[in-house]
Amino acid sequence: MTDLAKSDLDVAQIVAGHIDTERVVQLVQDVCRIPSILGEEGPLADFLVEVMAGSGFDDARAQPVLPERPNAIGKLDFGPGKTVVMTGHMDTKPVSHGWKLTEPFSGDIIDGAVYGHGIMDMKAALVCQIVAMEAVRAAAAAGDIAVSGTLAMAAVSDHMGDQLGSIKYFEEYGADYCVLGELSDNEIFLGHRGRYYYDIIVRGISAHTCHKPLAVNANMLAAHAIIELDASKLEPQLEEWVTSLFGPETYMAPGRVYGGLPPGGPSMIPDECVIRVDCRPQPGVTLEEVRDEIERCLALAKQREPRFEAEVVLADVKSGYLARPEAEVTELMIRAVRAARADGSSTRSPEPELQVAGWLGDTASFGDRIPTIIFGPGGEPVYCPDEHLSIEDIVEATKVYAAFAAYALLGD
């Protein structure tokens, strides 16, 4: 890595000087007060469209995705040039129990931090991105920097469903660079693991419980498979640098088990039990490698119980994502983080650390086409009582987004 170029620092300081910190904090509070649990993204989408339209964004609108669950999109056009997309999801998980300091949707500021359910995943990042885009526009309008190209904003729905929001947006729009605002604790994430779901359908012979000798309990058969699947430790051959980031193991576990009849009704010895195998592969691990490992585990189950029979069905595929350290999008973000921390105000190292995530990002649906880097405020643990984010981290993230956008549109 080279030392921070003076021109980089100058540009970063110029756009940072146009960031309205009071606006970014107020908007973060506002979005924290709008519930947007998966399936209920509509009101937050409406609010973000209103914010962008009121700020003078071009084509600020709700992009239809699912009924009453649109994306919120807009852009700033600076003429011919590259396109940079800032993106993140609006949907959150359900509210955690146990909040004590304030209410989940209060947006209260306590000891220099904003409190709100989903603030880290990832409501704050959406606001930081919008305000960063405004700062670049203000710097350009003042004649402080000369940029050319397009800054686009895509706040998407259904991330925690089937990622239909991201799929819809990138079906209609392309980009030269993209920044995904997933929580990375203001460090640089190159990518994340994927997710493969396999259903193991175990079949036995049903009977009334009074006729137990005539039955082969599918739940009992499935138990043997569960033991073997849980003991799995798949370590596929990968490039050394990928293994150094993610570790050697492809994590695999029996996540959900469906067997027998539902509660509240009659019971009997079941003839079917379904095991959902949740696999989290590193980028580069193939479906065939995972399927072979599952078959190996099921063969061991049959050795334990000769009556074991099962069908394996691929239920869902979400790919992992990994940007290379030397990629242009990575270098742009490294420069942006360095510059944002050059004044020494950050408690983090001035040299950003390149990391990866175990969770699944929307890049699973578009990263194969759009060069993307992951950066956002907030880190583990997330979705816990009294979830909060420091104002310092919110402001730093906004500076980084603004610097990245400015570098990308300044050209060579």
pLDDT digits (tens, 9 = 90+) for 120-173: 999 999 999 999 999 999 999 999 999 999 999 999 999 999 999 999 999 999
Given a contact cutoff of 8 angstroms between Cβ atoms, the answer to whether 63 and 73 are in contact is yes
The conformation of residue 216, written as its DSSP 8-state character, comes to: B
What's the rounded Cα separation, in Å, for the pair 384 and 98?
A: 8
What's the rounded Cα separation, in Å, for the pair 153 and 178?
A: 10
| pLDDT-wise least confident of 78-82, 117-121, 342-346 | 342-346
Angle at CA of residue 248, ends 246 and 254, nearest 5°: 90
Taking CA atoms, 58 is separated from 151, 157, 182, 294, 323, in Å, by: 10, 20, 25, 50, 30
State yes or no: pLDDT of 95 exceeds 80: yes
Confidence of residue 395 (pLDDT cuts 50, 70, 90): very high
Ranges of H-type helices in 247-383:
287-304, 328-340, 363-366
> In sequence order, which residues have a C-beta less than 8 Å from that of residue 223 and are 6 or more positions away?
none
Q: What is the mean pLDDT of residues 80-98?
A: 97
In the β-sheet with 109-110, what is the strand arrangement from edge to edge? 109-110, 113-115, 388-390
In the β-sheet with 195-203, what is the strand arrangement from edge to edge? 251-259, 272-280, 195-203, 310-318
Taking CA atoms, 78 is separated from 19, 39, 146, 409, in Å, by: 18, 35, 9, 9
Ranges of H-type helices in 72-123:
none
Instruction: Provide long-range contacts, Cβ within 8 A and 24+ apart, for 239-243.
Output: 239/284, 241/325, 242/282, 242/283, 242/284, 242/322, 243/282
What's the rounded Cα separation, in Å, for the pair 41 and 72?
A: 10
pLDDT at 5: 59
What's the rounded Cα separation, in Å, for the pair 180 and 153?
A: 11
* Two structure tokens written together for 235: 């370590």
- Residue 174: strand, helix, or coil: coil
Q: What is the mean pLDDT of residues 113-121?
A: 97
Given a contact cutoff of 8 angstroms between Cβ atoms, the answer to whether 97 and 385 are in contact is yes
* CATH 3.40.630.10 residue spans of the chain: 6-192+320-410
pLDDT tens per residue across span 8-58: 889 999 999 999 999 999 999 999 999 999 999 999 999 999 999 999 999
Annotation: CATH topology of 6-192+320-410: Aminopeptidase (3.40.630)
Label the pairing between strands 177-180 and 372-374.
parallel
> In sequence order, which residues have a C-beta less than 8 Å from that of residue 91 and are 6 or more positions away?
36, 37, 38, 39, 40, 41, 157, 158, 159, 160, 161
Taking CA atoms, 367 is separated from 138, 283, 373, in Å, by: 30, 11, 9
- Residue 357: strand, helix, or coil: strand
* CATH 3.30.70.360 residue spans of the chain: 195-318
**What rounded mean pLDDT belongs to the chain?**
96
Q: What is the mean pLDDT of residues 194-218?
A: 97
What's the rounded Cα separation, in Å, for the pair 227 and 274?
A: 14
pTM: predicted TM-score of the whole model, two decimal places: 0.93
Beta bridge partners of 250: 234
Annotation: CATH topology of 195-318: Alpha-Beta Plaits (3.30.70)
The torsion of the CA quartet 344, 347, 351, 356, rounded to 10 degrees, works out to: -150
State yes or no: pLDDT of 2 exceeds 80: no
Angle at CA of residue 276, ends 275 and 278, nearest 5°: 135
Query: Among residues of the chain, what percentage have pLDDT more than 90?
Result: 92
pLDDT tens per residue across span 242-289: 999 999 999 999 999 999 888 888 889 999 999 999 999 999 999 999
Question: Which residue type sits at 5?
Answer: A
